[in-house]
Each structure stands twice: as structure tokens, then as C-alpha cells.
A and B are shown apart, each in its own frame.
Chain A
């Protein structure tokens, strides 16, 4: 087999893994969008915030330490404990639930019935607010996140492929774990939506707010629940990306990567988010590998957008989205 083709296959698999991570972020978007019609731009910042909180709790940082020090002139920074990952994750989930409740209570309760684009802009405001809040609470330096996930090259695959192609594929253990976790997460979300009472209520709300209200579903509860679930998905995404490249500002930019995924797959479709994520992940890696060197590289920044843009011109609802019907 020619070398180029083998490299391309390796790039393909790495793209697939990256795509899973994009899909994970996109999933959070789809959940909120389906249930409340809100396009949550803040999803990426939520992932960053969740990861920061996790690190902060595990390392025993004092929240708002900088602020307290600046105002009171003290020198507090750490409580001096180190918590196991599980405790950190549980308390971060609690924080995300409280956040979901606050977001619903303080912001979106007052914006019910507004145009979607207004809601979208409100989430941009929320993203800014949370970005500032996260930095203020936990400090803006790059943090290392280690919850005990395996990292580094997978030797087994390296060896197996070396025996076949004479060239060992580099595939990160973390990516494999991420894929498994993402599949589990998606599976459990689907089961949750199909077979539990709350899941059914959630689908009812997604279908028709008023009809759901009239059969006694509490919109408020469902929305808080959905935001909490999205917060949890954000936490998982935050852990994956945070372990991979450190908890830092650029983590919030994965939201920007997830947007074309959504456009490609359709805003309302969970399978669409996953397929879209895989297409974008593979597409951008292959494009960078094949065409990138010819036109100056770093095409990953825009390839996904241009691909999605071109697709939208032909299929405005995305690959799996519901057909848009407009009435006057």
C-alpha cells in the first residue's frame, strides 16, 4: 500500500476521534434547542466553566480568591485539600444544576415568547458573563486537569497496524476513551428520552409547548432539567478537552467548532449531531492533510464553516433536520 494512503487512513481515524468530541459538544446544543428552542451559544463556555470548577474543587482553590485579595488585601488562595476526581465531578454537577436553575430563573423566564434570535443573543450575553465569572472565580491561568483518564499512544493499535502495514498508527488512548464515553452518553440519553417519564415530558415539550402545558407538564421543570443535562454534557466535554489540552480560554472556542456540526446535521437531530460531528472531524483533518499544505495550512479554522455553508445552500435544514415550513 502506498505511504500516502496509509497516512490518510491514520488521519481519517484521528479525524473520527476528533469528530466524536465535536459531536459531544454539539449534543449539548441539540438538547437545549429541541426542548426550548434556544440556540445556546454559551455551551462552549459552559464546558470551560465546568472544567474550571472541576479543577478548582479538586485542587481546593478558594473561589474569587483574586477578588477577595484585591478588595480585602488578604492572601488566600487554597483551602489546602486535594479531593478525588469523583467528589469533584459530583460537586461540579451540582454547581451546573444550580447554574441551570439560575439561568432559567433569572434570564429565560423573562424571555419566553421572544423571537429565537433575541434568545440567541441573550445566550451570547450569558457566554460573556460566564467567561468573566469563570476567570474571576478560578483565575485565568492555564490549568492541568487529571481525572485519571489514560493518555498517550495506544501501543496495541500501534503494534497491530505495524504488523499489517509496516507503519504504526498513532491513536491516543484518550481519544478512544472519549469515544467510548461519548457513545455511552448518547446511548443513555436516548434511553432517557425514550423510556423515562421525564424524558417523555421533555420530548412533549420539544414537540409543542402549549400542548405539553395543557396535559400538565411543567415547562419550568423541564427547562431546568434540560439545562442541567446540557451542563452535564458540557462537563463531560470539558473533561475530555481539558485533559487533552489543558483547561484554558481556548476551550470555550470548541463551541464555535460545534456550530458547523449542528448546521450540517440539523439543529433538531441527535443522530444529526453525531453524524455531522464525524463528517466535520474527518473532513477537516483530511482536507488539512491533502489540500492544506498547498494553500498555506491551518485550514481547520474555517473548513467546517465553509462546508456547512455550502451544504446549507442546497439543504437549508441540514442533513437530518426537520423540514422548515413557513407560514405567513
Chain B
């Protein structure tokens, strides 16, 4: 009833090609932004930020990054954990080497470093495809984790081999370290998430995104119609790794504060982010958010229901979580290969015709 394109006239090309052409979508988008920026920060407490909002926001950036590579450009990567580690260690080195420079700069630079590493490990993609490539990206995963574990320069020769994020402020408000306020870290991450989403959305619907999708759908055909696979694939690797690096940087500096690389950025992290985009929807920015929200909320929910509600031991709940996640992956691949994003699209399509089905 409300969801109509009828009566919504575009009078300029600019209006015609905007991200949300339907008025209702546009208002919904503004409403979400207002709620996220102006209302949620006042309602937050420590538990909500640490258990739900921060992981959700940070994983969303990682999922957007991987979605660009896997969902849009069709190159499956299992090295996400390794690239997040690059982002984390790059920020750590920058934070400790240049304490007076703003955190924002450090995090962006860390993204840049990760983009460079991503291109390096993306080079084989020019020769190998499909799951040969997927397995080859595992090389990045294992090599990078080993590197950060074994070369003391990366963790500043600390005795524990861990990296700890020192306290840094932005506009006088601490955003890393022990004395942070929930709303401050939330807003800090939210800004990054919003910018990432807007940038990613516009990249993927522009010329670059079309090239990526052409490569994804059939790389040889794409080459024949004039898409340069070298630049298309490597730019996908670079941009994807940039986002993943930013998320790794935030994950370490703002969310965890202390990181032991093998534990935090292991192969399971790569799979987790991959599952997010499968469940959320390959080739959809909204899907990245939906998948991240789903997989962040699921363990919290299970823990609350099973451990707190039914009094099960935690290890049993953890096993059940594994089963449920695996089961959901299979169900989604069978029933809805395009994930939650597709369900959302179908719902919107239905809504447009509602209440008259024809």
C-alpha cells in the first residue's frame, strides 16, 4: 500500500539513477540512519555494545569486503582471517610508531597495507580459478598467521607474543584502550560502516562493479567483450582486502584491544565471514549486513536460550551451534542460494503488489 513507485516521478537523470529509486526505500534508509546515529547511542550499555553491536558492525565491513570479491567478482577467498590480521597488525605497528597521528588515518592506512597484500595474494587468480583459487587463498591464511606469530618485529618483541592496543583518543574522547565509553566506540565503528557501505554500494553499481560481475558470470566472455581481467580481478582483490583490513583494524584496536593472532584470526574466522555472505546473500550489500547480523545474533541467542534458559552446559551449546550453522549453510544453499537478501527482495516484490496479488 505504501510501497509503490507509482506517483514518484524522476525529472532528472540524477534522480533516476539514485541508489534508492523508490520513495519508501529512501525514507526507510534515512530512518535507519537516524535511529543508528541519533537514538541507539543513548540506549547502549557495555553488554549490548560488546556482545552485539560492535561485532555486528565490524563483521559487516569484513562481509562487505568479501562480498565484493566473492559475490561480485566470483573469486572465492578463504584468506579473510589472514587479511584481517594484516589490518590488525598494520594498525598496531602504526599506532605504536606514530602515537600522535589520528586513529582514523591509521585505520585507513592499515586498509591500504592490506589492499597491497591482497593484490599480492590475488596474483595467482589470473592463472587459477574456482576452488583451486579457494585453496590457494588458504596459503595466504596460513602464511600470514604464521608470519605474525613468528616474526617478533610485528608484535614489537613483546614477551607474550600478543598485541595490545594502547589508548588513543579522537576529539579528546578515548576510543581504544581500557577507558572507552560504549557510545563512543559504537559511533566510531558506525561511521566506518556507513562510509564503507555507501562506497561499496556505489562501486558495485558503477562501471567497476559491472566489470566484476562480468568476470564472475563468465570470465572468458568478459574478456572478449573488452573487460581486462587483470585490472578487474586485481582491483576486486585490492578493494575487498581494503575493507577486510579496515575491519581487522577495528576488530583489534576498538573491539578486542588485545589479540593473539592464531586464536583470533585463524581459519575459522575466514569461514565465519564466508558463511555470513552465503547466508546473507552473495552479491548484495544488504546481504552482508543481514548475514553478519544473523551469525552474530545466533550464538548469543543460543547461549541465552540453552545455557541461561534450559541450563545446558556451555560445551553442548557450542556443539549445537556448530550443527545449526552447518545445517543452515546447507539449507540456504539448497533452498535459497541467494540468501536472506533474496528473501528480502521477494518480500519487497510482494509488498509492491499488496494487497492485490495481480
| Alpha-carbon distance between A299 and B151 when the two chains are bound, in angstroms | 12
A-B contact count (CB 8 A): 141
Residues in B with CB closer than 8 Å to A296 are 150-151
Please tell me if B278 contacts chain A, counting CB pairs below 8 Å.
yes
Contact B326 A70 (CB under 8 A): no
Residues in B with CB closer than 8 Å to A126 are 326, 330
| Alpha-carbon distance between A319 and B89 when the two chains are bound, in angstroms | 36
Cβ 8 A contact of A305, one of B127, B142, B322, B337: B142
Please tell me if B24 contacts chain A, counting CB pairs below 8 Å.
no
Residues in B with CB closer than 8 Å to A121 are 274, 278, 329, 333
Given contacts A295-B150, A302-B139, contact A125 B330 (CB under 8 A): yes
1/0 contact trace for A238-275 toward B, CB 8 Å?
A: 00000000000000000010011011000100000000
Contact A308 B221 (CB under 8 A): no
Please tell me if B170 contacts chain A, counting CB pairs below 8 Å.
no
| Alpha-carbon distance between A308 and B145 when the two chains are bound, in angstroms | 18
Contact A301 B146 (CB under 8 A): yes
Please tell me if A181 contacts chain B, counting CB pairs below 8 Å.
no
Task: Report B350 CB to chain A, min CB distance, Å.
Answer: 25
Interface residue ranges of A133-151 to B (CB < 8 Å):
133, 135-136, 140
For A296, give the chain B residue with the smallest CB separation: B150
Contact B128 A316 (CB under 8 A): yes
1/0 contact trace for A271-305 toward B, CB 8 Å?
A: 00000000000000000000000011111011001
Contact B139 A309 (CB under 8 A): yes
Contact B322 A135 (CB under 8 A): yes
1/0 contact trace for B269-289 toward A, CB 8 Å?
A: 001001100100000000000
Task: Report A149 CB to chain B, min CB distance, Å.
Answer: 29
Contact A132 B150 (CB under 8 A): no
Residues in A with CB closer than 8 Å to B330 are 107, 122, 125-126, 129
Cβ 8 A contact of A66, one of B138, B316, B327, B329: B316
Q: Please classify how large the interface on chain A is, using the bins under 10, 10 to 19, 20 to 34, 35 or more.
A: 35 or more
Decide if the interface of chain B is mainly helix, strand, loop or mixed.
helix
Contact A136 B319 (CB under 8 A): yes
| Alpha-carbon distance between A313 and B136 when the two chains are bound, in angstroms | 10
Contact A129 B323 (CB under 8 A): yes
1/0 contact trace for B118-137 toward A, CB 8 Å?
A: 00000110011111101110
Please tell me if A79 contacts chain B, counting CB pairs below 8 Å.
no
Please tell me if B313 contacts chain A, counting CB pairs below 8 Å.
yes
| Alpha-carbon distance between A114 and B145 when the two chains are bound, in angstroms | 33
Please tell me if B8 contacts chain A, counting CB pairs below 8 Å.
no
| Alpha-carbon distance between A267 and B271 when the two chains are bound, in angstroms | 22
1/0 contact trace for A34-74 toward B, CB 8 Å?
A: 00000100000000000000000000000000110010000
Task: Report B79 CB to chain A, min CB distance, Å.
Answer: 10
| Alpha-carbon distance between A125 and B327 when the two chains are bound, in angstroms | 6
Cβ 8 A contact of A131, one of B136, B150, B322, B328: B322
For B76, give the chain A residue with the smallest CB separation: A117
Interface residue ranges of A147-192 to B (CB < 8 Å):
none
Task: Report A228 CB to chain B, min CB distance, Å.
Answer: 20
Contact A120 B131 (CB under 8 A): yes
For A297, give the chain B residue with the smallest CB separation: B150
Chain A interfacial positions (CB closer than 8 Å to B)? 39, 66-67, 70, 107, 110-111, 114, 116-118, 120-122, 124-133, 135-136, 140, 256, 259-260, 262-263, 267, 295-299, 301-302, 305-306, 308-309, 312-313, 316, 326, 328
Chain B interfacial positions (CB closer than 8 Å to A)? 76, 123-124, 127-132, 134-136, 138-139, 142-143, 145-146, 149-151, 218, 220-221, 224, 267, 271, 274-275, 278, 310-313, 315-316, 319-330, 333-334, 337
20 contacts between A and B (CB under 8 A): A107-B334, A114-B333, A116-B130, A117-B131, A120-B131, A122-B330, A129-B322, A132-B320, A136-B316, A263-B132, A296-B150, A298-B146, A298-B149, A306-B139, A306-B143, A309-B124, A312-B128, A312-B132, A316-B129, A328-B224
